[in-house]
Amino acid sequence: MKTFLSLRVLAIVNKEEFLDLLEKDKEFRYAVAGKLGILELLRRMDAVERELKRQRKVLITLVKEVRDLKVAVGSLGRRLGVDVRALVDELLKRLGVGEYVVEKFRFEDREGRYGPRGVVYEVDLYVSNDKTFLVELKSLVEPEDVDRFYLVADAVERILGRRAEGKIIVGVHAAREALERAEKLGVTLLYGDLV
């Protein structure tokens, strides 16, 4: 009985030392974790935590971009003297679009699959239900704006894997040459006045 008790007391002392080492000695802690197969789990958890932090940064950026987009649309509307959202709503209604979702679409082509590597393709509004419409909002529309939008819209269609029913630029002012260019490229140009 005495021997059994001595072993138990010895085990408790070793247990306390063991726990103390776990708490204070990082190398010992990792060695134990490795023996138990926990080290790989910890590494994976660290990777998941890093990815969550990265995704949080992306989400914060997206929220800011949506907020900025709302401000830009409101500002453009005030300059036009109309509610741009109502204008886009009316246009989509005329095109036979019922319910839809409006998003800012942004894609960075890191591999260069749709053009030069690193190019960012972005449209102000991506509207879809059973149809897709790509919309660009501008205060002044120049011919080069039409060309750029046409190229971006073409890349966005390839990225999405679907054709846009409409490529639309809404502008406060438009250069006459921009209107001519839009007609040639099949881009719908809505504007307040020609300059």
Q: Measure the N-to-C terminal CA separation of the chain; round to a whole number of Å.
A: 104
DSSP β-bridge partners for residue 102: 127
**Residue 27, domain extent:** 2-36
User: Would 165 be classed as within a structural domain?
Assistant: yes
Residues 96 and 178 in one domain: yes
Residue in the structure block whose two tokens are 């987009």: 69
- Residue 122 phi/psi, 5° resolution? -145, 135
User: Would 137 be classed as within a structural domain?
Assistant: yes
User: Would 60 be classed as within a structural domain?
Assistant: no
**How many domains would you assign to the chain?**
2
Taking 70 as the threshold, does the pLDDT of residue 127 lie above it?
A: no
Residues 97 and 175 in one domain: yes
Q: Could you tell me the CATH number of the domain that includes residue 147? A: 3.40.1350.10
Residues 188 and 95 in one domain: yes
**pLDDT value, residue 1:** 45
Taking 70 as the threshold, does the pLDDT of residue 7 lie above it?
A: no
Residues 185 and 89 in one domain: yes
Which of 119, 195, 129 has its CA nearest to residue 166? 129
Residues 175 and 94 in one domain: yes
Q: What confidence tier does 4 reach under pLDDT thresholds 50, 70, 90?
A: very low
Alpha carbon of 179 to those of 48, 137, 176: distances in Å? 50, 15, 5
Question: Residue 123 in contact with residue 151, Cβ under 8 Å?
Answer: no
Q: What is the pLDDT of residues 77-125, one digit of tens each?
A: 555 555 556 666 666 666 666 666 677 788 888 888 888 888 888 887 6
User: Would 146 be classed as within a structural domain?
Assistant: yes
pTM score, two decimals?
0.52
User: Would 173 be classed as within a structural domain?
Assistant: yes
Q: What is the pLDDT of residues 135-173, one digit of tens each?
A: 888 878 899 999 999 988 998 888 888 888 888 888 878
**pLDDT value, residue 184:** 92
Residues 18 and 110 in one domain: no
